[in-house]
A = this chain, B = another copy of it.
Amino acid sequence: MNEHGSTKEQVHAAARRARIAAATLALTPRAGKDAALIALADALLTHTDEILSANALDVAAAREAGIGENIIDRLSLDAGRVAAIAEGTRDVAALPDPVGEVVRGSTLPNGLQLRQIRVPMGVIGMIYEARPNVTADAAAICLKAGSAVLLRGSSSAAKSNEAIIDVLRGALESVGLPVDAIQRIAADDRSSAQHLMQARGLVDLVIPRGGAGLIRTVVEESTVPVIETGVGNCHVYVDAEADLDMALDITINSKTHRTSVCNAAESLLVHKAVADTFLPRVIAALQERGVTIHGDAAFQALSPDIVPLTVEDDDAEYLGLDISAHVVDSIDKAIDHIREHSSGHTEAIVTGSLAASQRFAMGVDSAAVMINASTRFTDGSEFGFGAEIGISTQKLHARGPMGLPEMTTTTYVVTGSGQIR
């Protein structure tokens, strides 16, 4: 207990304030929400110096703690990054309002007019790791979708997040919207994340964003409904009927375009019919780009630098310059392998065969299937959604990149003239 009560009481009190704010947001028309988003963007620019000063303290503390440079890079802000965050907020204002969209509608035989309409989710909890840009992105998307948001970032970004959230709340106040629509859940007590994910009845949805460990913890311990995001063990399958030049481009792009992201390829499967021709080319091209290949016997036979596959490799999300590689006897063996080892994010097939593309698309069980395209395209912005709050790898509610509609729920509004049963 501190002066404000226990951490649990503080989290629940924040959630209750958020519910009240959410009731106001639900009745705020698009113009009011867009004006607020533009005010948020302007405020981020006006207060860039405060945000950068706070961020410098987080970065200095991270360096002192000996945190790796790649994490420090994710944590670091500069004027350009803050401007990009503000621009992203302005982009959300320009997107259509998902609230009020009629998903389906009909007139029933008894004259009742049935409409299924998108309505706000209510209160959304975000539990995320180092990147401070998630703070503003999530706040903007939730606001546009008519929901209040509770932001629980990591302690390593605490000062940056606090500065950004103060700016965002000030902007809400300036346009007359409830400041409690955007609230910070302090990260100084680790249990605050726990209380947020167990505030069933007060929080409608929790979205974890970060590494596999964070996501697993939230999925296992939350009693609030969760959307699981982002772990990607993506496969590229080169079919017997593949154009091998295309297969080479897609493999290299999927693996090396950006290695630290969830839509990068981590596994290569090659049909035996094209192995003799394709393997030497793909091995040379990957090795030239510094990729370590963890290969089966067929790969090992062709280069002394192939690392023998272990059981773990087939399930690994390397997020680096590594790839596991197999030769498979058939498309069905490729599908079976993917069903067994994939995290359900994105699988690509390279083939000229329509039948093979259809079998693959219906046979694997993942959020996205790329036919003759790089796995890197599974992305809200590439899909034209304009804003993305993460990529769902679960089957319930939302699967794949989540934009504004995925941040809403629906209600049935049935209009009659006195009908009874």
A contacts, CB < 8 Å to B: 23, 26-27, 106, 108-109, 112, 114, 116, 119, 121-122, 200, 204-205, 219-220, 223, 225, 227, 243, 246, 249-250, 252-254, 257, 339, 357, 359, 361-363, 365-374, 376-378, 382-384, 394-397, 399-401, 409-421
A377 with B122, Cβ < 8 A, contacts A384-B106, A397-B396 known: no
Known: A200-B220, A205-B395, A368-B414. 15 other contacts (CB 8 A): A27-B362, A116-B400, A249-B420, A250-B418, A366-B411, A367-B412, A369-B414, A372-B416, A373-B419, A374-B419, A376-B420, A377-B414, A382-B421, A396-B396, A399-B409
A46 to chain B, nearest CB (A): 33
Instruction: Kindly identify which residue among B361, B373, B415 contacts A372, using a CB–CB cutoff of 8 Å.
Output: B415
Among residues of B, the one whose C-beta sits closest to the C-beta of A357 is B415
Distance (whole angstroms) from the CB of A206 to the closest CB of chain B: 10
**Is the CB–CB distance between A420 and B369 below 8 Å?**
no
CA distance A382 to B384 in the complex (A): 37
Determine the distance from Cα of A106 to Cα of B382 in the docked complex, in whole angstroms.
12
Name 25 A/B residue pairs within 8 A (Cβ), A-sorted. Answer: A27-B359, A27-B362, A27-B363, A108-B384, A114-B383, A119-B365, A122-B395, A205-B396, A243-B418, A249-B418, A257-B420, A361-B411, A366-B411, A368-B412, A369-B413, A371-B414, A371-B415, A373-B418, A374-B420, A376-B420, A376-B421, A382-B421, A399-B411, A399-B412, A401-B412
Task: Report Cα–Cα, A420/B373, bound state, in Å.
Answer: 6
Complex Cα gap A130–B224 (Å): 28
Residues of B within 8 A of A382 (CB): 108, 421
Distance between A383 CB and nearest chain B CB, rounded to angstroms: 6
Chain B residue at smallest Cβ distance from A116 = B400
A368: B residues at CB distance < 8 A: 411-414
Chain B's nearest CB lies how many Å from the CB of A223?
A: 6
> Is A383's CB under 8 angstroms from B108's CB?
yes
- Once bound together, how far apart are the Cα atoms of A370 and B114, in whole Å? 9
Provide the residues of chain B in CB contact with A411, threshold 8 Å.
361, 366-369, 399-400
Closest Cβ neighbor of A220 among chain B residues = B223
Select from chain B the residue with minimum beta-carbon distance to A254: B420
A419:B108 contact, CB within 8 angstroms: no
Q: Are B219 and A371 in contact (CB under 8 A)?
A: no
Shortest Cβ distance from A250 into B: residue = B420
In the bound assembly, the distance between CA atoms of A370 and B121 in angstroms comes to 20
Q: Residues of B contacting A394 with CB < 8 Å? A: 225
Known: A225-B394, A420-B249, A421-B377. A413 touches B257 (CB 8 A): no
Interface centre among A26, A106, A357, A416 (most CB of B within 10 A): A416
| In the bound complex, CA of A400 to CA of B204 (Å) | 16
Residue of B nearest to A222 (CB): B223
CB atoms of B396 and A119 under 8 A apart: no
Shortest Cβ gap from A89 to chain B (Å): 23
**B413, A371: Cβ atoms closer than 8 Å:** yes
Residue from A220, A399, A412, A415 with most neighbouring chain B CB atoms (10 Å): A412
Q: Which 4 A-B pairs have the closest CB atoms?
A: A373-B416, A253-B420, A395-B409, A397-B397
Q: Is A416 within 8 A of B219, CB to CB?
A: no
Q: Shortest Cβ distance from A291 into chain B, in angstroms?
A: 16
